[in-house]
Every structure is written in structure tokens, then in C-alpha cells.
Amino acid sequence: MDAITFRASFPPILTAIKRSGNGDGLRIQLDVPEIDVPEAIALTALTQERLLVTVTVLGKSEDERDQATSRRSAKRRT
């Protein structure tokens, strides 16, 4: 399978990153912008798989451009 790529950010909640009670791992929650939902939904087919996760931080200009694109897409849908 090819890589699945989508933008995401941590939600503004204290429990976005949770440490396991018995100390054997973490649980991570992410917010995905509407424009990237189709790509993120592809993860549902992988619920029984082990994943290798790589994180790349978007630059400020990339993030602003992505937000503008998302706003334009939302306007077209309404």
C-alpha cells in the first residue's frame, strides 16, 4: 500500500496525548481539516495493521495556504 498523507494538528485539549496507565505506550488524537478527510478515512482500512508514523512540521506559509484552500473549498460546498 502507498503512504497515506494528510494534514493534522493536535486538538486544543489536555488529553490530546495520553500516557498509558501501565506505562507501556501513548494514545494520540489528531484533528484533520475537512479538505483532508478523504485521505484520513483511508486509515480505517488499517485498524488491524502496525503502522510506522513519520511527522513533518508544515512551515507557516504552507499552513496559511492550506487554510485558505480549505476555506475556498468550504464556500464552494455551500
Three-state secondary structure string covering the chain: CCCCCCCCECCCCCCCEEECCCCCCEEECCECCHHHHHHHHHHHHHCCCCCCCCCCCCCHHHHHHHHHHHHHHHHHHC
Is 41 contained in some domain?
Answer: yes
pTM of the model: 0.67
Specify if 62 maps to a domain. yes
In whole angstroms, give the CA distance from residue 78 to residue 68: 16
Q: What is the mean pLDDT of the chain?
A: 84
Residue 60: which pLDDT band, with cuts at 50, 70 and 90?
confident
The answer as to whether 22 is a domain residue is yes
Task: Quote the percentage of the chain above a pLDDT of 90.
Answer: 67
Give the chain's domain count.
Answer: 1
Quick one: which of 53, 3, 4 has its CA closest to 28? Answer: 53
pLDDT tens, position by position, 33-54: 999 999 999 999 999 999 999 9
C-alpha cell recorded at residue 12: 486544543
Domain of 52 in residue numbering reads as 17-77
Domain-located, residue 6: no
